[in-house]
Amino acid sequence: MTASEQLVDAAIAEQARRWFVAHDEGSLSAQETAAFLTWLRASPVHVRAFLRVSRIARDLKAAAEGPDFVLKALLEEARTDTGNHVVEIGSLNLQGGRAIARQPGRRSQWALATVVAGLILGLSLLWWSRDGERFGLPKTYDTGRGEQAAWRLPDGSTLHLNTGGSATVRYSTAERVVDLNRGQALFEVVPGDGRRFRVSAGEAHVLAVGTEFDVYRRRDVILVTVVEGTVTVSSGEPPPLSSGIAPSGPSRRVNAGQQLGVEGGKLWPEPVLVDAKAAVAWLQHQIVAEDRPLGEIVDEFNRYARVSIEIVDPALRALRVSGRFDVYDTESFVAFLSSLDGVAVERTATRIRVISIGASKGERPQSTH
């Protein structure tokens, strides 16, 4: 192989890698999907490169034996190029939507590219954009520090993920399961799917149908806040996926406008009334505090801020404050802290330190920030 040919192969491999990453990051738009199919059909070399990168060749047989998503139409198109011959892919023969073993034959490479491209397109769209609903494959969604994102799940429900969050979505014939690995998420669950919707966050498990609720996995407690509808919250070990068995631990019903926590693996005795809109104010990039400890507000703010705010004094962390804060407006929040009686702020390039200067301890400053 000449140096020029090596450069061409390397360029095609890089293109295949980029298409793979594009699929892995989320559903392609209609225009991007058309561009992807055009690229695949341009040359059998592109098909082979993508197969090597994505490693889904071993699943072609399983896909062909499954529901006949686009295979028949693609075969018709392939037959146009091959004089109504059956197209063979290696030892896998695709005929009428089923896979049968047959020895390889000499057929048009362009027809081969067409059929394989269609199969890859169908598989990849199902695999990455449908989150494994058909194949039982999990998909994990993540957000970085200061990031928020939302995804429409295969069943039509919506997952909103707050800063520094991670959630893994899995499907079975019995249920839809989301494992909240870390952080905070809001779920808008659509009814009528026929499968229960379960969220697991450590030792806390939430069952819901057609409702909207927030789950916040903190270090000391897991908080479940219901915005609309009703959920059942339980504690303990989660049941196996596809078992159809409800979590076996104690459970509580939580209605709209209520919040329930799980601490140390134990449910709170009863749900408490809360301002549900304030609990999900993060969707508008805000922290809403009503007579809350200053330390809690600072901890929330640090989930977004590039420069951390530090309060060492326990008494100052316990100071009760109220206000509404923009999570990305550090300067305004620091100005608010500086306005509190008995509080001083020291700034360096790497952190913001809040200290007590011994005045007016025990007050409960208020803010309409």
CATH of the domain at 290: 3.55.50.30
How many structural domains are present in the chain? 3
Q: Mean of the pLDDT values across residues 25-35?
A: 67
Q: How confident is the model at residue 243 (pLDDT cuts 50, 70, 90)?
A: low
* 271, 150: one domain: yes
pLDDT over 80 (residue 122): no
DSSP letter (8 states) at residue 351: E
Q: Mean of the pLDDT values across residues 137-160?
A: 92
Asked if the structure places residue 145 within a domain, the reply is yes
Upper half-sphere CA count for residue 116 (Cβ side, 13 Å): 27
Asked if the structure places residue 55 within a domain, the reply is yes
* 272, 296: one domain: no
Per-residue pLDDT at 341: 86
Which one of 84, 103, 129 terminates a domain?
129
Per-residue pLDDT at 337: 92
How does pLDDT run across 204-229, given as a tens digit for each residue? Answer: 999 998 899 999 999 899 999 999 99
Per-residue pLDDT at 298: 94
* 162, 110: one domain: no
Per-residue pLDDT at 238: 74
Per-residue pLDDT at 127: 47
Q: Percent of the chain scored above 70 by pLDDT?
A: 67
Q: Which residue has the higher pLDDT, 315 or 244?
A: 315
* 152, 217: one domain: yes
* 96, 62: one domain: yes
Structure tokens at 202: 């450590």
* 121, 149: one domain: no
Q: How confident is the model at residue 187 (pLDDT cuts 50, 70, 90)?
A: very high
* 67, 92: one domain: yes
* 169, 215: one domain: yes
* 31, 58: one domain: yes
If we measure between CA atoms, which residue out of 86, 83, 77 comes closest to residue 114?
77
Answering whether pTM is above 0.75, one says no
Q: How confident is the model at residue 254 (pLDDT cuts 50, 70, 90)?
A: very high
For 13, phi and psi rounded to 5 degrees? -60, -40
Asked if the structure places residue 134 within a domain, the reply is no
Residues 6+ positions from 303 with CB-CB distance below 8 Å: 145, 146, 162, 163, 164, 327
Per-residue pLDDT at 309: 94
Residues 323 and 366: their CA atoms lie apart, in Å, by: 7
Structure tokens at 71: 């295979």
Asked if the structure places residue 323 within a domain, the reply is yes
How does pLDDT run across 337-351, given as a tens digit for each residue? Answer: 999 888 899 998 889
What is the span of the domain harbouring residue 248? 139-276
Asked if the structure places residue 365 within a domain, the reply is no
Q: Mean of the pLDDT values across residues 73-81?
A: 46
Asked if the structure places residue 366 within a domain, the reply is no
* 100, 18: one domain: yes
* 144, 271: one domain: yes
Sign of CA dihedral 237, 238, 239, 240: negative
pLDDT over 80 (residue 260): yes
Which one of 75, 97, 129 terminates a domain?
129
Asked if the structure places residue 116 within a domain, the reply is yes
Residues 69 and 123: their CA atoms lie apart, in Å, by: 9
Residues 6+ positions from 71 with CB-CB distance below 8 Å: 64, 94, 97, 118, 119, 122
* 41, 80: one domain: yes
Asked if the structure places residue 87 within a domain, the reply is yes
Per-residue pLDDT at 121: 53
